[in-house]
A and B are shown apart, each in its own frame.
Chain A
Amino acid sequence: MSINLKTLTIQKAHEALVKGEYSALQLAEAYLAEIAKKNKELNAYLEVFDDVREQAKAADAKLRAFHSPLSKGEKRTLGASQDLERPSSDAKGVQPRYEAAASARSGVVSPLLGIPLAVKDNILIKGRRVGAASKILEGYRASYDAFAIAKLKEAGAVFLGRTNCDEFAMGGSTENSAYGVTKNPHDARRVAGGSSGGSAAAVAADMALAALGSDTGGSVREPASFCGVVGLKPSYGAVSRSGLIALGSSLDCIGPIAKTVADTEILFDAIRGRDPRDSTSIKLKVKGEKLKVKDMRIGVPKKYVETEGIDKEVLQDFKTSLERMRQAGATVVEIELPQLRYALACYYIIMPAEASTNLARYDGVKYGLHREGADLLGDYLATRGEGFGPEVRRRILIGTYVLSSGYYDAYYRKAERARALIRRDLADAFRTVEVIATPTAPTPAWQVGEKKDPLSVYLADIFTVTANIAGIPAVSIPGGRSAGGLPLGLQLMAPYGEDARLLAAAALAEEALHKVQ
């Protein structure tokens, strides 16, 4: 049977699986066939797991258990906790199993049961290889499940494989991967973005229905923007960092990538929650967020957006998106965020400082690559010199510099204070607007090898780092296209902890931007 993957969403696939239109195995096979066709060119996956079919069969077994007729008085307890017991007076008994009760059942079976997902190569799945696309973790197998992974296993999701990324999530194009660049499905001469480029490309090219990425300064949103899909960076702490290979611990977030806002929310709901293994994790208060488009005030920091490096087409598309939102009934207001001009500098001090600290653990002694030197110190120097790629070593050196005693006050302490000012600036702005909008990235996807100078790649993070510095949630949704047909993204940000509001706003924006006119 053939499944139309192009238009498939988690919601549609879930319905089809529950109705028995096709099996989780057939769905997984469809994605494996797509991967076999495309991955050689795109290099989105570093590894396709050899037990995908077994995982899918396990999901099918759960689905079958659900489909089997109920005996009188028997209760369904699959997935979530709702009680599906039918009244015994029901004359039709359990006959219309697939139609009448399908929607009710959707609430009972986990919406991710049998759904094929891709996972970024910096999120641990017990027993499987994981390496943050770095040679220094060559051969390493995860000894435990990340919190997000444990939740997805519980939900019955199927993991297709691990996706390419910039080494230790350091970059915006996956050009820093030790295993080759991931190509953009919309134009294979161009980058897919990064650092979660493999995850975004996999979703965009129908090589996965949705994926997990991680976002330290835009690593979920920028590749989502470049590949024309949706990417969410949740509030800091909304998803536990347990089992995420650390980059900048005060900035790192695991986030979902999917084709629609609704799918993104399904995945987000499955992975969030308080985890005793991450003391910064929080339980979000998610009330039924009923945001109406006519009540929505969108703040636009005009001076910040119209920066000198912004591409003309990106700016034009951003204005078109705002106009569509206005036409749909939203109010667009100009806001001032003067402190945001320090956001990028602040980020490129704090992140390398934290990275240099976090990456001290890779010493060739406990796990991964080991290279011989003359003595123990020589082992460290050789292992780290050879195991880390140029960008990682560059950031470790910058981090070491800004934390060294002579420069600590001038850089790191100053950046920490600027961070507080940026948070304050945003909190003030959110008193008058529901969400803040910017383009996700200042340019469309660039050509592979086009940017030689690391600083020019850093500048692509100008609009995304702010949310990480402030800890607030932000999402990228597809806007329009460049003249060359490349996807452009619209970023929305909401106050800390207001992830539900952000997703409600994103759903309204998605509707306004992509309504057939």
Chain B
Amino acid sequence: MVTLEEIEKLAALARIELSDGEKQAFQKDVGAILEYVSSIKEASVGARGAPALSPALPVNVMREDTNPHESGRYTETLLRAAPQREWNYIRVKKVL
């Protein structure tokens, strides 16, 4: 169902390191799960799917970008959670 190369590709996309043993095991497990969920392909859903139901389920809506809190109010709390910090910055390895 999935090749070892596909598992490696997915792991790279998802930023997850896998050992060689894990790659083998995941190839088997993920393959079996994907095979199971492939049964969804038999579901008789048309090109547009089922007509909408009322009431529709609530969906996530971004709030208006208004009413900001005063600057710096949560800075210390949030920075304190960071594993690596320098002054009021989170420290990371160079990007470029």
Contacts and interface: CB of A to CB of B under 8 A. Distances in A.
Given A370-B84, A400-B13, A416-B49, A345 B36 contact: yes
A471 B11 CA distance: 31
A176 to B, nearest CB: 13
Interface in A278-300: 279-282
Contact of B49 (A280, A349, A410, A417): A417
Interface in A52-100: none
Given A394-B26, A394-B30, A420 B58 contact: no
A232 to B, nearest CB: 18
B40 A345 contact: yes
Given A276-B63, A346-B40, A417-B43, A385 B18 contact: yes
B27 to A, nearest CB: 10
B9 to A, nearest CB: 9
Given A143-B78, A365-B82, A401-B2, A375 B41 contact: no
Nearest to A454: B29
B90 interface: yes
Interface in A456-500: 458, 471, 496-497
Nearest to A427: B53
The binding surface of chain A is classed by DSSP as: helix
Given A345-B39, A396-B16, A455-B36, A367 B83 contact: yes
B36 to A, nearest CB: 6
B57 A236 contact: yes
Given A276-B63, A339-B43, A377-B15, A397 B83 contact: no
Most buried by A among B51, B55, B83, B90: B83
Contacts of A418: 40, 43, 45
B82 A367 contact: yes
Interface residues of A, number: 68
Q: Report the interface size class on chain B.
A: 35 or more
B82 to A, nearest CB: 6
B58 A381 contact: no
B47 to A, nearest CB: 9
Contacts of B83: 364-365, 367-370
Contacts of A368: 81, 83
Contact of A421 (B6, B32, B43, B74): B43
A127 to B, nearest CB: 10
Contacts of A187: none
Contact of B61 (A279, A377, A402): A279
B69 interface: no
A366 B37 contact: no
Interface in A385-405: 385-386, 388, 390, 393-394, 396-398, 400-402, 404
B43 A414 contact: yes
A9 interface: no
A349 B37 contact: yes
B17 A382 contact: yes
Nearest to A399: B14
A374 to B, nearest CB: 9
Interface string A346-384: 101100000010001001111111100001110111101
Most buried by A among B2, B14, B59: B14
Contact of B60 (A279, A370, A388, A390): A279
A312 interface: no
Given A364-B83, A400-B10, A342 B40 contact: yes
B40 A380 contact: no
Contacts of B26: 393-394, 397
Contacts of B53: 420, 423-424, 427
A280 B58 contact: yes
Contacts of A382: 17
B55 to A, nearest CB: 7
21 contacts: A143-B78, A143-B81, A237-B58, A249-B60, A279-B62, A280-B58, A280-B59, A282-B58, A345-B38, A368-B83, A375-B93, A375-B94, A384-B17, A393-B11, A394-B30, A411-B40, A417-B50, A418-B45, A420-B53, A455-B33, A471-B57
